[in-house]
Amino acid sequence: MTTADHIGVFDSGVGGLTVLRELVRALPGKRFVYLGDTARVPYGTKSAETVVKYALGAARVLADRAQLGALVVACNTASAVALDALRSALAVPVFGVIEPGAAAGVAATRVGRVAVLATPATIASRAYEHAIHALDRRVRVFGIACPLFVPLAEAGWVDDDVARLVAERYLHPIVNGTARDVDTVILGCTHYPLLDRVIRRTVGRGRRVVDSASATAADVALALGAVTASRARARAHIEVLVTDRAMGVAETARRFFGDSVGRIARVDL
């Protein structure tokens, strides 16, 4: 029997589990239903119109599966282009990850120079630049598209020679190029925290690396805190759905959440 306190979470694949992990920590005792659209990953190389269509489809599946109390769009690309459509379509609060990530980046920088690593679609939307400048117009934003980070994360190649070489190629502007004066790097895709080690080693210890997961979870917890306070000691219940076979999602979900995750079901959008 479902209840209206379920939180729906979706991403194109495994990356949104980094957001779900922080949500579980911030909201113990809540019920979560997670959808990884593994049949269509990645979103970040697709048109805005296509991403909006996929996001609305994911939201419908989650709403059919459980009586949602909130929806978290654990995908930067969908957050960049589909939030308005989702908020119009759903009668529950819808949270994205870009504004919390932008706020974390602005809070972290000391020199007003921030690099955003993201998918091509997120970079093209300029969503992070707009969100950062809404907080502080003095911050200079360098957008760097890193599309191969998503398939690396999906494949589990997150800390090997392949990941290192790809990171060195993408992050050259930060290490020794036009963005070398940045002191803060925002991981503007929820897949990218899975490559956290190789990214940190590549950009160097002197730079802060932040992502939106914990900031997003804090925003959701603040909005829903009054509902969940009485269940603070309870154990989270997590249902995981995918749209195609996805060993990476299964392995990461069980590594993050252990036996809180039951059978992973496949659904159609």
Please give the positions annotated as active site. 75, 189
Q: 44-54 in b/e burial notation, b at 16+ Cβ within 10 A?
A: bebeeeebbbb
Burial of 147 per CB tally in 10 Å (0-12, 13-18, 19+): middle
Give CA–CA dist 243/58, Å, rounded. 10
DSSP state of 119: -
Judge contact between 9 and 241, C-beta under 8 A.
Answer: no
Judge contact between 38 and 13, C-beta under 8 A.
Answer: yes
Judge contact between 79 and 19, C-beta under 8 A.
Answer: no
Sheet with 237-242, strands from edge to edge, namely 94-95, 68-73, 6-11, 31-36, 237-242, 265-266
Give CA–CA dist 182/170, Å, rounded. 15
Element (H, E) at 144: strand 140-145
